[in-house]
Amino acid sequence: MIRYVLAFVVSLSAIFGSYPRAKAAESAFKVAGLPMACTDFRGRSVVSLQVSQLGDVGRAWVVNTVPYILLDPELMRPLPKTLQVFFYLHECAHHVLGHWYNPTGSSENDADCWAIKQGRERAILRRQDVVNFEPWLAKSGGSAFGHLPGPLRLKQMLACFDGAVETAQQH
Ligand SMILES: [Zn+2]
């Protein structure tokens, strides 16, 4: 009888066991091995996905009011772990600061600043980690969508780390 009940329990968990596991895997999105979560300015959970051939390391996106962070796994992989986390936080910042609905001329700088401060507050980023971004950011020459050229961008990020620059909104 005990054997029979056990077999029944085992088959039940075989049927239903996969669902909670899939759910748990979904909620624990990881960047460079660290669990990451993001909530937008409306208090909605941001869905994070890995998308190949994205055309950029990361993007903040909204589809039918659902906020997304898209990250290109191939472009992320060669980067230092701290820079991978920074890029995730940068995309999260666009959602936290509501840039999808209300973009400003300083959206990119504000997202950088928010990401740096978050990284510092969560003890993920040390000042030296940000300094070490230099060769990676130097490769980027600024862009039409508002990123400063690498050296200037790094200077501004360090100023944010040091608390000298206030972001447009504090959350
Ligand atoms: Zn951005």
**Domain-embedded: residue 14:** yes
Tell me whether residue 20 is in a domain.
yes
Does residue 169 lie within any of the structural domains? no
Q: Near ion ligand 1, which residues have CB within 5 Å?
A: 108, 111
Report the pLDDT value the prediction gives residue 22, as an integer from 0 to 100: 45
Residue 170 lies in a domain: no
Q: How many Å lie between the centroid of ligand 1 and the Cα of residue 107?
A: 7
Angle at 140 between CA 72 and CA 99, to 5 degrees: 65
Confidence of residue 136 (pLDDT cuts 50, 70, 90): confident
CA of 146 to the centre of ligand 1 (A): 8
Please tell me the pTM assigned to this model.
Answer: 0.79
Our count of domains for the chain comes to: 1
Quick check: is 23 in a domain? yes
Report how far residue 54's alpha carbon sits from residue 56's, in angstroms, rounded to the nearest whole number: 5
Q: Which domain holds residue 145?
A: 2-161
For residue 53, being part of any structural domain is answered with yes
Q: Is the pLDDT of residue 38 over 50?
A: yes
Q: How far is the CA of 28 from the centre of ligand 1 (A)?
A: 23
Ligand 1: distance of its center to the CA of 91 in Å? 6
pLDDT for 39 beyond 90: yes
pLDDT at 151: 83
Find the range with the poorest average confidence among 4-18, 104-118, 131-145. 4-18
**Local confidence band at 62 (pLDDT 50, 70, 90 cut-offs):** very high
User: Is residue 150 domain-resident?
Assistant: yes
